[in-house]
Amino acid sequence: MTGTGMAQAITILFSPILTRIFTPEEFGILYLFSAIADILVIFATGRYELAILIPKKEQDAANTVWAAGLLTTIFSIILFIFIYFFNLKIGQWFREPKLSTWLYLMPPFILIRGWMISLHYWHNRHKRFKIITGSKIAESSTNVGSRIGLGILQFSAGGLIIGTLLGRMATLATYVFFFLKNDKKAFPKPQWTPIKEQLKRFINFPKNMVPAGFFNTGSTQLPNILINFFYTATVVGHYGFMNRIVRTPLSVIGRSFEEVFKQKASEELQKIGHCKSIFYKTLKRLFAIAFVPFLIFYFVAPSIFQIVFGEKWTTAGEYAQIFTIPLFLNFIGSSLSSIFYLKEKTQIFSRLSFLQLSLVIFAFFASWHLELNAKMLIYLLAIAYTISYAIMIFLLVKIVEE
């Protein structure tokens, strides 16, 4: 948690500089690019990376890594061909012509991201939490440093996008370095037959977890796309920046709990057939840690954003205040959500994610039909997320008790 905190602190500490170099509109283009990339990467890996923790045999887990990586590579090549012919039209489809210039970075972004998360789960399987933490520090440092440098050189939104790409490359380089150091000799070379076996064994992951991942990520990232349709890139910038800044400190604790929880839960499931002990222990700790800070944050969010990031970001602080309750519930539920695939309840997760996406789309439909302003849309989105996260926590408890 300490190491992860250092990585996230770098992002937070330098954000006041970035908000004075880049405008909300430029951040909006970044969040639009990132939203598209985060959705595409789900299809790139087929979600096979989630299965890397499950096999008891190391060889099977290793071939699952190859499976996820192979699918990512093929997907990235196809994506490049598509963007080569249609990049200008894609910018028009998303009502943001400035996006077209940077779409050529999307295929390498997906390729790096896909291999990165596959190796992430491989290192997690072997309890290499220090390596995972070190990669986060490398990513944050590279990301922030390159963004500031490119911003000074007036790269506009491109500086934010390139900085993000370089940060991902730093993480992948860290994972590859320690992979070669620890696993090069024992790790099997790619062979189609054993890879095919793992593709068949975990076929439920692309069948259930790809739709679930699309619904789940879509419900988080789709607002960045739809807000650009119905409002402006500036509104996207405020909304996306709010999510980034608030979720960053939450992930310091939440993701650290998640990394250890899913590994410990996996162990308990293999040894005793259930993971009630570690589940309830983690649930209680998450609630105790988060309740008071969130209560205080509700009353001070707009003032904090105005003072720290500048007056032009006060609106983002107001959005953060509105989102206090759903962010609190998401902090707890997301940290425990690995239960869905560890207990192979992927279909339930898929349906839950579809429900969340449906609620988000309904919020946009209601806002459009009633001709509401951007702030009222944020209220509707907060209600939609609150309902879905509350249902998630309820289902997690129910699954653990089975």
Most distant pair of Cα atoms in the chain: their distance: 62
Same domain, 242 and 141: no
Same domain, 171 and 311: no
Same domain, 256 and 159: no
Domain count, the chain: 2
Residue 3: pLDDT band by 50, 70, 90 thresholds? low
Q: d(Cα 223, Cα 35) in Å, to the nearest integer?
A: 9
Question: Does pLDDT of 71 surpass 90?
Answer: yes
Same domain, 190 and 56: yes
Same domain, 183 and 305: no
Give the pLDDT confidence of 349-398 residue by residue, as tens digits: 878 888 888 999 999 999 989 988 999 999 999 999 999 999 999 999 98
Same domain, 59 and 81: yes
Same domain, 25 and 171: yes
Give the pLDDT confidence of 321-332 residue by residue, as tens digits: 999 999 999 999
Domain end point (choices 171, 202, 233): 202
For 138, residues 6+ apart whose C-beta sits below 8 A from its C-beta are 170, 171, 173, 174
Q: d(Cα 376, Cα 387) in Å, to the nearest integer?
A: 17
Same domain, 285 and 391: yes
Same domain, 129 and 234: no
Determine the structural domain holding residue 304 and report its residue range.
Answer: 204-402
Give the pLDDT confidence of 17-68 residue by residue, as tens digits: 999 999 999 999 999 999 999 999 999 999 989 889 888 888 999 999 999 9
pLDDT of residue 1: 64
Residue 290: pLDDT band by 50, 70, 90 thresholds? confident
Domain end point (choices 202, 235, 259): 202
Q: d(Cα 364, Cα 123) in Å, to the nearest integer?
A: 40
Domain end point (choices 202, 231, 258): 202
Same domain, 148 and 254: no
Is-contact 107 76, C-beta < 8 A?
A: yes
Same domain, 178 and 221: no
Q: d(Cα 303, Cα 305) in Å, to the nearest integer?
A: 6
Question: Does pLDDT of 184 surpass 90?
Answer: no
Same domain, 349 and 370: yes
